[in-house]
Amino acid sequence: MIHPERLKQLKHYTPYLFRPGSILNVGANRIRFDLLPELHNAGREITLLEAWPENVKHWANEPRLKETIEGDVREIDKLKVGTFDVVLWWHGPEHIERDELEATIAKLEAAAEGLVVLGCPWGVYKQGPFMGNPYDEHKASLYPADFEAMGYQVATIGEADKHGSLMAWKWLRNQKKAGPQIPHVVMVTHGEREEYLKQTIPAVLRTTWPLTLTVIANAPGDKAAKYLRSMRPELFKLQIYKRNQGKPRAANRGWIARDADYTALLDDDALALETDWLRKLVDIADKIPQAGIIGHSMEATNWPTRVLGEPARTVQVQPGNLGGACMLVPRRTVEACGYYNEELPHYGESDGLYGWKVRKSGRLCVYFDHSDLGRSFAHLGEATADDDPEYAEWKKETRREAQEIMQRLMAEYEAGRPLNQ
């Protein structure tokens, strides 16, 4: 039985592990098969790869397993095991020599369609052969740097060399079954927005669809900056600018930082109310090629619906631009329309101009259809954004300036300027 803290850690960082699909579990002895109940209950189709013949015999007739294969993980490339949505090597890497680790993990990655998850002691943890099994001896003491050097994200529990534990995970680009390349989420914040960030960032990190997150902090207040720096660095990439770059430029810095099939742009006061918000957007983008940008509406208005795609999906088609608080942009749209235009000032119209360029390119601006459902997002700043008269006046003037620039840019695009410039 897995320790509750380690199970909590797995569900936090790799929730995809607990979804239906195929999985190769490497290693299980006669008295311990961590995660077997949880994986089975999640609908995983489990194949066990085990090196010790006595353990293979023990698990051969286990009804929760699809198959039990006898073989050494270091020779998995010779076993023709096939490929799996997930490969899990839990209580494993420490059982081989350190100089065998990289080659073995590379072979496991070749067997994974989407996700590889590894677990081992954090540092020194001496153990000899267990129950006569020579494969159970601990031969390597491993640390986060050993896995980070291979492109893995790492999280730990406890202390190094004192029976602490380590987990490492890696999403692979060749996700034939796990979906497209992992979407990249970019959140832009500015000023003293700590109260919003404490709600919106954890909500994004609870998302059940795999993602990478970059937070761009534009001249953040002291409390906001302190909060962002206090969070574990493996959770997201943080870029802090002392001077406010403006939303278009700041969003672009995060947008271009990762070459992703899909990029989701979020405001810092857009609160995800459900954990599968990203899956819904990716599904539409993946199934409806003419969808240029896809968003979750935070307005009460419902727009006309259309049934599009194969298989069919019902979406709301916005005749104007989408609200920029939450929108997903596929790579195909970036290739045609580029990124935000940085000629626009700090506030206003970057989303409007981008939506116009999307429509100009022949693509659609669509919302997920919430007609019969609750909203996926709430706008935390909706009721208080204009309470400060000075801020409201600055916003009004900045937006007037932005609209003038937007009209000039639209005229240039109409006259032949490429949309992706």
Query: Which string of DSSP letters, residue by residue, matches 288-327?
Result: -TTEEEEE---SS--PPEEEETTTTEEEEEPSSPPPTTEE
- Cβ proximity of 329 and 413 under 8 Å: no
Q: Write the pLDDT tens digit of every residue in 183-202.
A: 899 999 988 899 999 999 99
Domain ranges of the chain: 4-171, 184-285+297-302+322-362+374-414
**Strand residues in 242-376 grouped as ranges (E):** 262-267, 270-272, 291-295, 305-308, 313-317, 326-330, 364-368
Instruction: Report pTM.
Output: 0.62
CATH of domain 4-171: 3.40.50.150
Give the pLDDT mean for 334-361. Answer: 89
CB neighbour list of residue 37: distance below 8 Å, 6 or more residues apart: none
Q: Write the pLDDT tens digit of every residue in 284-327.
A: 998 999 999 999 998 878 889 999 988 888 999 998 888 889 99
Give the pLDDT mean for 14-35. Answer: 86
Using alpha carbons, select from 319, 323, 341, 321 the residue that is nearest to residue 406: 341
CB atoms under 10 Å from CB of 219, counted, come to: 17
Give the pLDDT mean for 218-232. Answer: 90
Give the pLDDT mean for 258-262. Answer: 84
Share of the chain above pLDDT 70, in %: 94
- Cβ proximity of 85 and 113 under 8 Å: yes
Burial (CB < 10 A; 0-12, 13-18, 19+), residue 76, is buried
**Integer Cα distance of 354 and 293 in angstroms:** 9
- Cβ proximity of 145 and 95 under 8 Å: no
CATH superfamily for 184-285+297-302+322-362+374-414 is Spore Coat Polysaccharide Biosynthesis Protein SpsA; Chain A (3.90.550.10)
Using alpha carbons, select from 269, 264, 215 the residue that is nearest to residue 368: 264
Q: Is the pLDDT of residue 177 over 60?
A: no
Q: Where are the alpha helices (DSSP H) in 14-52?
A: 36-41
pLDDT-based confidence at residue 382 (cuts at 50, 70, 90): low
The sheet carrying 165-171 orders its strands as 65-70, 44-50, 21-26, 84-90, 112-121, 165-171, 153-157
Q: Is the pLDDT of residue 385 over 90?
A: no
**Residue 402 phi/psi, 5° resolution?**
-65, -40
**Integer Cα distance of 160 and 385 in angstroms:** 46
